[in-house]
């Protein structure tokens, strides 16, 4: 199984890898993957068919260096990648074909994919709108009407 894609050295930055997205643990068939995007040295996104099916992969050791490589492949005893023991990412066109253990596979929904891309600097965040604060809120009440009721 070989996947063709593009990666540059700029995509191999050491960005923080803890992710908080709308996601769920999952598996995918190795034959259904047709593209990938490197987030950093320990994280990548693979895209299935249709392309809206995206999976976040965490690998170990976190020293992924594609160095301009455009092919990756997977090895699994079952043909499905779930992040279990034995699931591996292989850089297929390197002389030594380094192997990385896949430690976690998370299926991403559209929001989760966007949030992950923003966290790793691959997408621009939506504009933040801060509430207008003009100072302390004022609470006023009429004391005269309260005093008249007590009399």
Domain count, the chain: 1
Query: For residue 105, what pLDDT band results from cuts at 50, 70 and 90?
Result: very high
- Asked whether residue 144 is assigned to any structural domain, the reply reads no
Contact partners, residue 67, CB within 8 Å, separation at least 6: 9, 94
Higher pLDDT, 140 or 9: 140
Query: For residue 14, what pLDDT band results from cuts at 50, 70 and 90?
Result: very low
Residue 108 domain boundaries: 3-7+21-123
pLDDT at residue 150 in the model: 58
Query: For residue 30, what pLDDT band results from cuts at 50, 70 and 90?
Result: very high
- Asked whether residue 138 is assigned to any structural domain, the reply reads no
- Asked whether residue 75 is assigned to any structural domain, the reply reads yes
Query: For residue 9, what pLDDT band results from cuts at 50, 70 and 90?
Result: very low
- Asked whether residue 16 is assigned to any structural domain, the reply reads no
Question: pLDDT tens digits for 60-104?
Answer: 998 887 666 778 899 999 999 999 999 999 987 757 788 999 999
- Asked whether residue 142 is assigned to any structural domain, the reply reads no
- Asked whether residue 141 is assigned to any structural domain, the reply reads no
Of 16, 106, 120, the closest CA to residue 56 belongs to: 106
- Asked whether residue 89 is assigned to any structural domain, the reply reads yes
pLDDT at residue 45 in the model: 96
Enter the pTM of the model. 0.68
Indicate if the pLDDT at residue 47 is higher than 90.
yes
pLDDT at residue 50 in the model: 84
How far apart are the C-alpha atoms of 29 and 81, rounded to whole Å?
A: 6
- Asked whether residue 135 is assigned to any structural domain, the reply reads no
Q: Label residue 8 exposed, middle or buried (CB < 10 Å: 0-12, 13-18, 19+).
A: exposed
Matching residue, tokens 């034959």: 31
How much of the chain, in percent, has pLDDT values that exceed 90? 48
């Amino acid at each position: 199984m070989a996947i063709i894609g593009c990666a540059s050295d700029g995509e191999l930055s050491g960005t923080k890898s803890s992710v908080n997205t709308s996601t769920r643990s999952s598996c995918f068939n190795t034959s259904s993957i047709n593209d990938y995007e490197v987030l950093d040295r320990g994280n990548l996104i693979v895209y299935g068919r249709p392309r809206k099916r995206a999976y976040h992969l965490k690998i170990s050791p976190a020293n992924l260096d594609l160095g301009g490589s455009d092919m990756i492949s997977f090895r699994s005893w079952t043909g499905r990648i779930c992040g279990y023991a034995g699931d591996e990412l292989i850089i297929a066109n390197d002389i030594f074909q380094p192997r990385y253990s896949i430690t976690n596979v998370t299926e991403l929904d559209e929001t989760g994919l966007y949030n992950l891309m923003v966290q790793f600097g691959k997408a621009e965040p939506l504009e933040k709108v801060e509430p207008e604060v003009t100072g302390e809120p004022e609470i006023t009440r009429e004391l005269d009407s309260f005093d008249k009721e007590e009399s």
